[in-house]
Amino acid sequence: MPTAFIGLGSNLRDRWETLQAAIRRLRAEPGLRVTATSPIFETNPVGCPPGSGDYLNAALAVETDRPPEELLAFLHRVEARFGRERSTTNAPRTLDLDLLLYDDVVLATPELTLPHSRLHERAFVLLPLAEIAPRAVHPVLSRTIQELRTAIDATDVRIATVPPRGHGLLRDLRALVTGSTSGIGAAIAAAFQDEGATVITHGRSERTGERHLVADLSVPAAVDRLAEEAWRMFGGLDVVVLNAGADTLTGEAARWSFDEKLDALLAVDLKATMGLARNLGDRMKQRGRGSILTIGWDQAETGMEGDSGQLFAAVKAAVMAFCRSLALSLAPEVRVNCIAPGWIRTAWGETASDYWQERVRLETPLGIWGLPEDVAAAAVWLSSPAAAFITGQTFRVNGGAVR
């Protein structure tokens, strides 16, 4: 797919959160894949009305299935959703999304000029762009972005200060998140840490970090060992998120037979989840408090055709049913809930074919992919004191798909 570069800017409201939310929105768009994101820079307003606030700016590289005109129209729709009002030139704005480059396309129409007509003049564009594409070539000037950046005065552009994250919703809680080296698990672990929790991560291989446990959850003895090590590390746990699952969609496993995939899913997604939940849930109940989250699948309740649909529906439906029964067994001391994600853009979704991109558009009322951060936000709330009256429930994080 063609590669495009997009400039982002904001100088109204919560500028940092606006840019972060805009990046998440672009990451969620089917048929558009964000491949690089620059740091965020702060700069004085250039050519703006008196009293205009300083800007935050960033740049993205994306692969897209849209031609330039359609991509620009999409960017304008996103701007509008963030409250962008087009009035006078260079007026303050909640969000500015500029199409800077689109491969080596040179274009001049009333609606769109490529490359962006002032790209080479603006330090607040060139600095973030040079961070992600220093060797990209301006197709009119025949100079690299790094050469253009070096030739311009950038004294007024500075790296923005990162604001504090989170609101302390999980302050002082101790949590285990299984399968947390990538994807949804990594997003949950990061969100928990941002909200003040101390987190034990888990995966099948070693990684740096004081609180990382290694266990192959397809091995029953490893399940028991992980429960013991995690509990002993802190002398108890307040939250357990059982996210680990067998990947049967990518890599060598994608070529396994139906029965091989079923065995893997039963071992990791179901049996390991049940084993850890029962072991750690009993300990939490004896201590008098705790919260457990499992991961289901929204289409386990509605069905999906094909081998993958049959496999995941059977296994994840079992997880969801187990969660309801475990909640009754562990109440009132321990809350047990399940998150059922829909179309979440994990590693498989990043490279899914055009067919699946269009299917996401059609099957999700919001018309976009969910992101691991969306699941993490639900996990934070369900694990926090704010959800103290919630147990035995399955929460769909799926953009409204209710087929």
Identify whether residues 192 and 153 lie together within a single domain. no
- Domain-located, residue 24: yes
* Three-state secondary structure of the chain: CCEEEEEEEECCCCHHHHHHHHHHHHHCCCCEEEEEECCCEEECCCCCCCCCCCEEEEEEEEEECCCHHHHHHHHHHHHHHCCCCCCCCCCCCCCEEEEEEECCCCEECCCCEECCCCHHHCHHHHHHHHHHCCCCEECCCCEEHHHHHHCCCCCCEEECCCCCCCCCCCCCCEEEECCCCCHHHHHHHHHHHHCCCEEEEEECCCCCCCCEEECCCCCHHHHHHHHHHHHHHHCCCCEEEECCCCCCCCHHHHHCCHHHHHHHHHHHHHHHHHHHHHHHHHHHHHHCCEEEEEECCHHHCCCCCHHHHHHHHHHHHHHHHHHHHHHHHHCCCEEEEEEEECCECCHHHHCCCHHHHHHHHHHCCCCCCECHHHHHHHHHHHHCHHHCCCCCCEEEECCCCCC
Q: What is d(CA 65, CA 353) in angstroms, rounded to the nearest whole number?
A: 11
| 296-320 average pLDDT score | 96
> pTM here?
0.91
Identify whether residues 261 and 116 lie together within a single domain. no
Tell me which residue range forms the domain holding 20: 3-159
- Domain-located, residue 297: yes
90: pLDDT strictly greater than 80? no
The percent of residues above 70 in pLDDT, for the chain, comes to: 97
Identify whether residues 255 and 392 lie together within a single domain. yes
Residues forming beta bridges with residue 202, ordered by sequence position:
213
Tell me which of 159, 186, 207 is where a domain ends.
159
Q: What's the confidence (pLDDT) of residue 156?
A: 86
Assign 49 a pLDDT band (cuts: 50, 70, 90). Answer: low
| Tally of structural domains, the chain | 2
Q: What's the confidence (pLDDT) of residue 12?
A: 86
At 350, list the tokens. Answer: 């990043």
Identify whether residues 132 and 244 lie together within a single domain. no
239: pLDDT strictly greater than 80? yes
- Residue type (1 letter), 90: N
- Domain-located, residue 234: yes
Identify whether residues 77 and 183 lie together within a single domain. no
Q: What is the tens place of the pLDDT at every residue in 262-275?
A: 999 999 999 999 99
Q: Are 178 and 294 in contact (CB under 8 A)?
A: no
At 247, list the tokens. Answer: 């990947």
Identify whether residues 36 and 124 lie together within a single domain. yes
Q: What is d(CA 313, CA 320) in angstroms, rounded to the nearest whole number?
A: 10
Average pLDDT value over all residues in the chain: 94
Identify whether residues 293 and 392 lie together within a single domain. yes
- Domain-located, residue 140: yes
Identify whether residues 384 and 263 lie together within a single domain. yes
Tell me which of 159, 185, 217 is where a domain ends.
159
Q: What is the tens place of the pLDDT at every residue in 174-229?
A: 999 999 999 999 999 999 999 999 999 999 988 877 799 999 999 999 999 999 99
Active site residues: 84, 93, 96, 98
Q: What's the confidence (pLDDT) of residue 88?
A: 62
CATH number for the domain harbouring residue 337:
3.40.50.720
Identify whether residues 301 and 354 lie together within a single domain. yes
CATH number for the domain harbouring residue 151:
3.30.70.560
| 139-148 average pLDDT score | 96
46: pLDDT strictly greater than 90? no
Identify whether residues 280 and 184 lie together within a single domain. yes
Identify whether residues 256 and 393 lie together within a single domain. yes
Assign 10 a pLDDT band (cuts: 50, 70, 90). Answer: very high
Tell me which of 127, 159, 191 is where a domain ends.
159
For residue 309, which of 269, 399, 249 has the smallest C-alpha distance?
Answer: 249
50: pLDDT strictly greater than 80? no
Q: What is d(CA 57, CA 15) in angstroms, rounded to the nearest whole number?
A: 9
28: pLDDT strictly greater than 80? yes
Vertex 24 angle, CA 20 and 27, to 5°: 140
Identify whether residues 178 and 145 lie together within a single domain. no
* Bigger pLDDT: 12 vs 95: 95
Q: What's the confidence (pLDDT) of residue 165?
A: 84
Instruction: Considering only CA atoms, give the Rg of the chain.
Output: 24
- Domain-located, residue 262: yes
Q: What's the confidence (pLDDT) of residue 341?
A: 97
Q: What's the confidence (pLDDT) of residue 211?
A: 93
